[in-house]
């Protein structure tokens, strides 16, 4: 058998899961190559804990190679061009040929798109920004702490609301809550709008129970850093003393400039197979756009990247083995919502349901917080993910909200 080359662009959640799944399912003569400009993986869900001092930055980083199965090749390089017609990728000036391509480059944080954001807000979607926010939070003496969603879409739809509740909890622990106001400003009509009205109203109730004000349907224009104010497109201004922000997101430049992208820069894919309009070319995770039955896009979240990676790995492996691919992505999703004080909510549902996703309101309690802690350890704990794979516990793990082994 002639060995095939599977090229995976991106070493985030989707890239790691698909690389390891393919390495497990394919014979050694087939090459599995991950290309990423970073040598380290950052466990993004734990940035919220870094932001409030519950994790050190070094505790949520891990070398990418340590997360990959033996036999997965890693190229530390920046992807500069994707040519699906010629089945070639250029990375750091070198041309790489492939038989199958998986684009898992994620969404790019673009704080520079909003004037004043980089100078006036702490970007807790970034490791340096989350650590910087914790540094200043420890010296905060009181005033208005604002959480801003700058634009849509953004990854991790629950994150700004988790951030508000965790920050409120931190102020309470510091003994200054009575001197502070906590407010959330967003273009959304409700939190996590794709998940439905019941979910959104449940999250608003969580915020209100903690004295956090929710300000929806506000379109930010820029940050007036001198006046410490968010300026909205309708001319309204909202002052702040400390600003935690979700920056604008966009597809990476190499994707926007490729034949794979739509006019908005994202990659359209088949909702069940994740195949692009090019044969043997797939895209997974935040870099994709998948319209749902209600016209809204599938949220950008790691759980979907994980599930899509499992499906694409099975489809590629089946095709290489001469079998008819059977795996399809079902739109199942879940998320934790950290609420502070060692508690969290958890919700799961079917996002491909019609006419709207079926996602019941979150269940809350200390158990769900510890579930997220275990989820973190699953990703970052040495050897745990590979032991799960060895024991064949993938399906059972996913039932309890844990993705398939890395």
Domain range list for the chain: 5-107+251-331, 113-249
pLDDT tens digits along 351-388? 999 999 999 999 889 999 999 999 999 999 864 444 44
**How many other CB atoms are found less than 10 A from the CB of residue 398?**
18
pLDDT score for 2: 86
Query: 400 vs 12, 333, 347, 393, 395, CA distance in Å?
Result: 22, 12, 11, 11, 9
CATH number of 113-249, picked from 3.90.1150.10, 3.50.50.60, 3.40.640.10, 1.10.10.10: 3.50.50.60
> What is the pLDDT at residue 381?
82
pLDDT digits (tens, 9 = 90+) for 217-263: 999 999 999 999 999 999 999 999 999 999 999 999 999 999 999 99
Question: In which region does residue 98 sit, left (phi positive, over 0), alpha (psi from -120 to 50) or beta (all else)?
Answer: beta
pLDDT score, position 1 = 55
**Parallel/antiparallel/unpaired status of strands 332-340 and 343-350:** antiparallel
CATH number, domain 5-107+251-331: 3.50.50.60
| CA–CA dist 176, 246 (Å, integer) | 24
Q: How far is residue 287's CA from residue 265's CA, in Å, rounded to a whole number?
A: 9
Displacement of CA 338 from its chain's centroid (Å): 15
Residue 142 φ then ψ, to 5°: 140, 165
Cα(107)–Cα(323) distance, rounded to whole angstroms? 33
pLDDT at 387: 44
Q: Which residues of the chain have pLDDT under 50?
A: 383-406
Domains 5-107+251-331 and 113-249 alike in fold: yes
Closest CA to 337 of 12, 6, 35, 48: 48
0.85 exceeded by pTM: yes
Bridge partners of 89? 82, 96
């Amino acid at each position: 058998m002639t060995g095939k080359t599977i090229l995976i662009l991106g070493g985030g959640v989707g890239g790691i899961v698909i690389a390891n799944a393919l390495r497990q399912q394919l014979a050694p003569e087939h090459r599995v190559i991950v290309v990423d400009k970073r040598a380290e993986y950052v466990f993004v869900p734990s940035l919220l804990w870094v932001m409030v001092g519950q994790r050190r930055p070094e505790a949520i980083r891990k070398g990418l190679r340590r997360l990959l199965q033996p036999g997965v090749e890693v190229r530390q390089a920046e992807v500069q061009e994707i040519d699906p017609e010629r089945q070639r990728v250029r990375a750091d000036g070198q041309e790489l040929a492939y038989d199958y391509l998986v684009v898992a480059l994620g969404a790019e944080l673009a704080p520079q798109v909003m004037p004043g954001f980089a100078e006036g807000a702490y970007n807790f979607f970034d490791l340096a920004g989350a650590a910087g926010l914790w540094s200043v939070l420890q010296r905060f003496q009181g005033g208005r702490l604002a959480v801003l969603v700058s634009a849509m879409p953004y990854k991790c739809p629950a994150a700004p609301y988790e951030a508000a509740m965790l920050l409120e909890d931190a102020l309470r622990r510091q003994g200054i809550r009575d001197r502070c106001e906590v407010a959330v400003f967003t273009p959304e009509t409700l939190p996590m709008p794709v998940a439905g009205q019941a979910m959104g109203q449940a999250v608003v109730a969580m915020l209100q129970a903690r004295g956090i004000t929710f300000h929806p349907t506000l379109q930010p224009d820029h940050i007036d850093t001198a006046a410490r104010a968010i300026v909205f497109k309708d001319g309204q201004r909202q002052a702040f003393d400390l600003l935690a922000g979700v920056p604008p997101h966009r597809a990476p430049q190499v994707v926007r400039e490729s034949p794979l992208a739509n006019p908005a820069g994202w990659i359209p894919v088949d909702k069940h197979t994740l195949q692009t309009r090019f044969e043997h070319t797939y895209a997974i995770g935040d870099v994709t756009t998948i319209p749902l039955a209600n016209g809204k896009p599938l949220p950008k979240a790691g759980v979907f990247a994980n599930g899509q990676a499992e499906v694409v790995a099975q489809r590629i492996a089946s095709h290489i083995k001469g079998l008819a691919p059977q795996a399809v992505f079902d739109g199942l999703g879940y998320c934790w919502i950290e609420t502070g004080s060692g508690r969290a909510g958890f919700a799961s549902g079917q996002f491909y349901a019609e006419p709207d996703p079926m996602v019941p309101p979150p269940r809350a309690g200390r158990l769900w917080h510890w579930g997220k802690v275990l989820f973190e350890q699953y990703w970052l704990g040495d050897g745990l993910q590979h032991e799960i794979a060895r024991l064949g516990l993938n399906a059972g793990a996913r039932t309890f909200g844990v993705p398939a082994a890395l």
